[in-house]
Amino acid sequence: MKNMNTNFHWKDAIIYQIYPRSFQDSNGDGIGDLNGITKRINYLKSNSLSSLGVDAIWLSPFYPSPMKDGGYDISNYCNVDPQFGTLDDFDRLLTEAHNHELRVIIDFIPNHTSNEHEWFKESRSSKNNPKRDWYIWRDGKIDGSPPNNWISVFGGPAWLFDKKTEQYYLHSFAKEQPDLNWENPQVKKTMYDVIRFWLRRGVDGIRVDAFNQVLKDYSFADDPVNPLYKEGKDDPYNRLLHTHSKDVAGKLYTLKEICNVMDEFEQKLLITEAYLEIEDLLHYYKVGQKETLSPFNFFMLRKPWKASIYKDFLKTYEKDRQVHDIGNFVLSNHDNPRIASRIGRNAARVASVLLFTLRGIPFIYYGDELGMKDGEIPSEYAQDPKEINNPGKGLSRDPARTPMQWDRKPNAGFSTGKPWLPVVSDFMIYNVKNEQNDQDSFLSLYKTLIAIRKASPALRRGSYLAIEGTEDNILTFLREEAGEKIVVVLNFSSEEKQISLPFGKSEILYHLEKKDKSRIVSLKTVDIGGNDAYILRLF
């Protein structure tokens, strides 16, 4: 691990999510692979100006898988799927990344395996098989119907009847993803050894998939009906409140155990995935080792783009989060529509300024730095089980998983073969090559924001103080560290505004609209355009 800076701290990190299937294909089969990622490390991190300058990559799954859920259905936890390469390719990617001081985080999927995993094959083979209890098997009701009313995230009942042994097994996700039984000590031990396997190999952190699903209420009581559910409008999964099938007491004990495994190593980052209210999420911090635990905060992914809503959220997120609790912010990921599609490219530029100026790790979803939008996916391309089980309801996650847009070559330089999902139609404009040469591009915006954050102790580590009293559509806050004071002003609306701030003069570090050429402004009256933002350093 040469060149790795031992003073590195996760608090200072900027993390880039790669969906390996869609980043770079190196062998022309239309599917991205590990060697493709290795080839692109220079883009992510190098000394040259053309590099983005992130500190770590998080790789969505690349393990052997029948691909019923984009690789989140694993048939072997300790290997690489031939589509993506080999374990040697992984080791090369890791070495190359480390040589560039780029950390590597991988996905850990504890809730379920593939139905083609050897463990499940054994488990389903007979009621007496030693692995029977590794999964969750139950008899049906007297009338033969499933043991309870639980439903799958991807649609339909969460139970599937298996003729061979005449019992149902639980699958919180696709029917090809049977849930592991975390009540069984052997399951836990084996899964903790999976974590150790990758950390020993040199991996720098894990993202725990679907963490709040892992434990269930083992009374298997029915989930209550959600009184607010609107048939035909809401995701069918929201028909029930998942009081018994997820988020049950005891999950923080499991989190503590995972933290203990991570603590056997040094400085390994643990990120948990769970869509929670901010108050619930903050409880996670009470469990873990400080400064290497960062439960995902999905607020920006899901909430409407309104300054008042953001003000309230930041008040809660900031109030109870201690100095050592590492926060994080996420604009897009592989499970949700991209930010540029959700709020439009102009507002997405303002959201990017926010992402890089808040107190917590900024997560970049590959392609967001280009202003990439969701693709149009013809039905014959549909891959996502959520779409396949609920066709045409707008629930598909495929649109946010289209190939990375590198240049103007066929398939945007992603592959010489037919890509597994079609490339977004406006790739001729929005691609790395074009944007590298355009000062006003999204990519230039990202590079500038990353450089500003890296150079500013206040933005990386400083305290956060909301500045109240500005008008409704404006969000303003002060970040402060070691004598440096940075004020950030964001206009969430498309109308020009004039505001007054309770400070004297400041230097403009960044002005999104760049209309104002002066480097010094008085903060008594600040003109801010629609969808505009300032990063200001106080004197």
**Cα separation of 527 and 518, whole Å?**
13
Which of 507, 503, 509 has its CA nearest to residue 524?
A: 503
Which one is catalytic: 81, 89, 204, 209? 209
| Contacts of ligand GLC in 425-444 (CB under 6 A) | none
**Cα separation of 473 and 481, whole Å?**
27
**DSSP H or E stretch at residue 261:** helix 251-263
**Cα separation of 74 and 332, whole Å?**
24
Q: What is the largest CA-CA distance in the chain?
A: 78
CB atoms within 10 A of CB 81: 23
**Side chain identity at residue 505, one-letter code:** K
**DSSP H or E stretch at residue 263:** helix 251-263
232: exposed, middle or buried (Cβ count in 10 Å: 0-12, 13-18, 19+): exposed
Residue with the shortest CB distance to ligand GLC: 72
Q: Which is nearer to ligand GLC, 254 or 444 (CB)?
A: 254
**Cα separation of 360 and 295, whole Å?**
11
**Cα separation of 170 and 159, whole Å?**
5
* Strands of the sheet with 520-522, listed across from one edge: 463-466, 474-481, 484-491, 533-538, 505-511, 520-522
Among 25, 69, 223, 387, binds ligand GLC (CB under 6 A): 69
How large is the angle between the packed helices 185-201 and 251-263, nearest 10 degrees?
40
Among 10, 173, 430, 477, binds ligand GLC (CB under 6 A): 173
Q: Are strands 361-365 and 167-170 parallel, antiparallel or unpaired?
A: unpaired
Q: How far apart are CB 334 and ligand GLC at their closest, in Å?
A: 6
Query: Interior CA angle at 301 toward 299 and 304, to 5°?
Result: 80
Determine whether 257 is an active site residue: no
Residue 404 interacting with ligand GLC (CB under 6 A):
no
Residue 72 interacting with ligand GLC (CB under 6 A):
yes
Q: Are strands 505-511 and 328-330 parallel, antiparallel or unpaired?
A: unpaired
| Contacts of ligand GLC in 255-314 (CB under 6 A) | 273
Residue 180 interacting with ligand GLC (CB under 6 A):
no
> With contacts defined by CB under 6 A, how many residues of the chain interact with ligand GLC?
9
**Beta strands in 90-129, from DSSP E residues, in sequence order:** 103-108
- Tell me the Cα Rg of the chain: 24
Q: How far apart are CB 154 and ligand GLC at their closest, in Å?
A: 8
Q: Is 8 left (phi over 0), alpha (psi -120 to 50) or beta?
A: beta
Residue 59 interacting with ligand GLC (CB under 6 A):
no
| Contacts of ligand GLC in 190-249 (CB under 6 A) | 209-210
**What is the sign, positive or negative, of the torsion defined by CA atoms of 194, 196, 200, 205?**
positive
Residue 109 interacting with ligand GLC (CB under 6 A):
yes
Q: Which is nearer to ligand GLC, 339 or 347 (CB)?
A: 339
Q: How far apart are CB 112 and ligand GLC at their closest, in Å?
A: 7
Among 217, 335, 513, 527, binds ligand GLC (CB under 6 A): 335
Q: How far apart are CB 59 and ligand GLC at their closest, in Å?
A: 13
Q: Which is nearer to ligand GLC, 334 or 511 (CB)?
A: 334
Which one is catalytic: 88, 166, 263, 264? 264
Q: Is 190 left (phi over 0), alpha (psi -120 to 50) or beta?
A: alpha
Q: Which is nearer to ligand GLC, 209 or 247 (CB)?
A: 209
**Cα separation of 17 and 107, whole Å?**
11
The interface mask with ligand GLC, positions 131-170, x = CB under 6 A, is: ----------------------------------------
Q: How far apart are CB 421 and ligand GLC at their closest, in Å?
A: 15
Residue 129 structure tokens: 């098989």
Determine whether 264 is an active site residue: yes
Question: Contact residues for ligand GLC (CB under 6 A)?
Answer: 69, 72, 109, 173, 209-210, 273, 334-335
Catalytically active residues, by annotation? 209, 264
